[in-house]
Structure formats: structure tokens, C-alpha cells
Amino acid sequence: MKLSQEDIRRRFKAQGLKVTPQRVAIYKALAETTEHPTAEDLHLQVTQIHPMISPNTVYYTLSVLKEVGLVQEVNYWHDRARFDANVTPHHHLICLQCRAIQDIHDKTLDRLLRWSGIPSNFQVTGHRVEFHGYCAQCQTADTRRTSLPIPSKAHTKRRNS
Amino acid sequence: MKLSQEDIRRRFKAQGLKVTPQRVAIYKALAETTEHPTAEDLHLQVTQIHPMISPNTVYYTLSVLKEVGLVQEVNYWHDRARFDANVTPHHHLICLQCRAIQDIHDKTLDRLLRWSGIPSNFQVTGHRVEFHGYCAQCQTADTRRTSLPIPSKAHTKRRNS
DNA sequence: TTGCTAAATAGTAATCAATCCTAACAAGGA
DNA sequence: TCCTTGTTAGGATTGATTACTATTTAGCAA
């Protein structure tokens, strides 16, 4: 989406964020692509305007924008590979708090594969439905989060188990 | 699922794999849990039977089992965080070859949120549908893969872009 | 316009999941 | 039993991300 500097400034202000050239450039770059870039992609992109910008700034900025809900992490459970010996197609229920993953087996969901809204030039080999939320154990007010995706801080804490 | 040594031996043989105690233990541990463990989780688990087993062996074994289709990686695009400034709920079309991600906006898919098959003790806050396959550019016979998820080798090659 | 202050930036170092490399080892067939 | 080839384990390496920290700057108030 095309955004003017003023649009961006307004959005940042509305969230109580300082408006810095770097921050604007990062958000602008992300808002103007549909390619779901990585932090590195964005850093490379923004380098063309701010040659001295640090990757660190990109990571920090993204975490801030994520916190206020201006940005989302598309693959929010990207931290580590997780495996399953059940190779039949099935779907998942993911707890945003404790990261537990439950399986769902259901014909209704499987049938989505024949859904007609898929662009005809895309060859589909499979699909997966994820429901996000809170498992029975994690449904207490103080620990609950309100928005997707989970902040990247959780990533850091993962080793506390 | 409960599996005897013989069951596992048969499955390995059927895929032309050597049957080693470590390999059996790893697969057995994965098959007997529904918790979608990480490689580290599995290593810890198997350590109780094979105290000297190397994490390396777990990684290698998982990649082999994945290749022959006995195991799948649940979050197969876990390698790096990817971001989106479009924070409205939407869904994705993911190319297994080039990892491109296209957005899908559709009311039909959004309506799944009210799907009745979700366990009542799970509090759902959102959901996401992913379709996997091959984008127009990647639909050539020599580069196409046949199964999900993509082998971990792709992970290594990602920097060639 | 000028300071003040808290937050942002950038550089360096650290962390850690995952992979690479390689020598020793062992499964399975001859 | 022997041989071959795939497997294992250990050490080193890579690379995304985070931690730490000194410097800079945005935003506010005088």
C-alpha cells in the first residue's frame, strides 16, 4: 500500500511512537511490499536510503511496531523446527502462551483443499489450518495476550523450560 | 501411537533405511508423543536410553525420516521471521520451492473461525489457512518436490538469492 | 530557539539452533 | 566372517537474533 510520510507519522503518533527517519523508512518499505520480507530483506532495502542503518535497528523497530500492532509476524512460530510422526494430513490448535500444539483431524477442514478461491496458476499440494488462542491451562487473565502474533521476547525466553 | 520394535523395523526396511538402536529410539519417542517436540526435546528424551547420543544424530535422523516421509516438520517455514504490515486477518499461499508467500483475502476462509469442531476448552483468538504448493514460476518438473514438508537442505540454501 | 530527558540508533559481542566436516563405527548383504 | 556404505559422535562453523552500551536525536517545555 502507498503511504505518505504524513500517513506514517500519524500512525506512529497514534501509537505514541517517536517518528524517526529510520523507523519511517522501515515501515514504509514493509507497507509497500506484499512479499512478507525478512528483517534482513528490509535492512537491505532501507540501506538504499540510510546506508549506515544497523540490522539491530531493524530488529528493534520491528519488535516495537509489532508490539503496537502496526506489523505482524507472518510465521510467528518460526523459532525452532517441530516434528510429528503423524504424517496424515491434519490441522493444529496452537496455544499462544505455552506454545503447545494440539492436533485436529476433521473432514470439513480437509475439504478446503478443493476451495475455489485459489488462483488458477498456483498448483496446490496441500493445506493446513491453524487455530490460535489459549489452551485450558493458559486461560488466566494475567498471562493472556490480546493480539497475534506473540512478541519476539517469547523467543528469547524459550530456554527457561 | 504405541509401536513395537518390529513395527518400526518394518517401516524402516520398507523405506530402505538401516535399523539402528538410536534411530529406532528417536522415531519411537516421536511416534509416542502428540506434543510436536523439537529436535532438542527428542534428544533429551532419547538420552535416557542412549546417554551418549549426539544432537547431531537426532538432526540427521530427523532429516532422513523426513525425506522418506515417516516424519513431517509441523512448522516447516521456521527458518526466519517474516513480516507483514497488513495486520487485517488474511491467509496465505506458500510456494514450497521459492518460499514466496501470497496473500489471500476471503470471507469463506474467515468464517472458519466459527467452526464448531474446536474443543470447547480452547479459547480461539484467530486462525489462519495456508495453502502449500508451487507458484507459477516454480512449476517445472526438475525443481518440483512431491511431498510436504520441504527438506531441511532448502534451509541451508536460502542465502543463495 | 534552547535545553532536557527519555527513547532510538549503531556498533560490538554473545547466544544458540542448525549445519558442516570428518574419523570411527556398525548394519546388512555377500 | 568380511566389506561396503550408511550412521554416529565430536568439534568447528554458520547465521539469525538478542544483549549490552555509548552516542545521538525526537519531542517537549521553558
Predicted confidence at residue B141, as pLDDT, reads 52
Backbone angles phi, psi at A20, to 5 degrees: -115, 155
On chain B, the residues whose CB falls within 8 A of the CB of A112 are: 109, 129
Cross-chain CB nearest to A87 (options B42, B72, B96)? B72
B85 interface with A at CB cutoff 8 Å:
yes
pLDDT in tens, B14-48: 999 999 999 999 999 999 999 999 999 999 999 99
For residue A85, is it within any domain?
A: no
pLDDT in tens, A102-113: 999 888 888 888
Residue B113 has pLDDT above 90, yes or no: no
Predicted confidence at residue B61, as pLDDT, reads 98
Domain of A37 in residue numbering reads as 5-67
Number of domains in chain A: 2
Same domain, A99 and A132: yes
For residue B72, is it within any domain?
A: no
User: Which three-class secondary structure string do you get for A111-125?
Assistant: HHHHCCCCCCCCEEE
Q: What is the mean pLDDT of residues A50-56?
A: 97
Same domain, B54 and B103: no
Which pLDDT band, with edges at 50, 70 and 90, does A14 fall under? Answer: very high
**Tell me, what CATH number does A128's domain have?**
3.30.1490
Q: Any residues with CB less than 8 A from the CB of B117 and at least 6 apart, and which?
A: A104, A106, A108, A109
For residue B81, is it within any domain?
A: no
Cα-Cα-Cα-Cα torsion B150, A73, A31, A43, nearest 10 degrees, comes to -80
On chain B, the residues whose CB falls within 8 A of the CB of A161 are: none
| Contact between residue A78 and residue A38 where contact means Cβ atoms under 8 Å apart | no
Q: Give chain B residues 63-82 with Cβ within 7 A of strand C.
A: 63, 78
Cross-chain CB nearest to A27 (options B71, B85, B131)? B85
Q: Which of B33, B67, B101 is the last residue of a domain?
A: B67
For residue A13, is it within any domain?
A: yes
Same domain, B55 and B115: no
Same domain, B56 and B104: no
> Is residue B45 within a helix (H) or strand (E), and if so which, with residue range?
helix B39-47
The conformation of residue B112, written as its DSSP 8-state character, comes to: G
Predicted confidence at residue A150, as pLDDT, reads 35
C-alpha dist (Å) from residue A41 to A32, A33, A46, B36: 13, 11, 9, 30
pLDDT in tens, B49-66: 999 999 999 999 999 999
Same domain, B100 and B155: yes
**Tell me, what CATH number does B14's domain have?**
1.10.10.10
Residues A71 and A78: their CA atoms lie apart, in Å, by 16
More confident residue, A88 or B153: A88
Residue B151 has pLDDT above 60, yes or no: no
Same domain, A41 and A98: no
For residue A86, is it within any domain?
A: no
Residue A143 has pLDDT above 70, yes or no: no
Q: What is the mean pLDDT of residues A131-142?
A: 80
For residue A99, is it within any domain?
A: yes
Q: What angle do CA B155, A78, B50 make, to 5 degrees?
A: 75
Same domain, B142 and B95: yes
- Asked if residue A95 keeps its beta carbon closer than 7 A to nucleic acid strand D, the reply is no
Residues A3 and B72: their CA atoms lie apart, in Å, by 41
pLDDT in tens, A17-43: 999 999 999 999 999 999 999 999 999
Supply the pTM of this predicted model. 0.84
The nt closest to A156 (CA vs C1′) is D18
CA(A12)–C1'(D13) in Å? 41
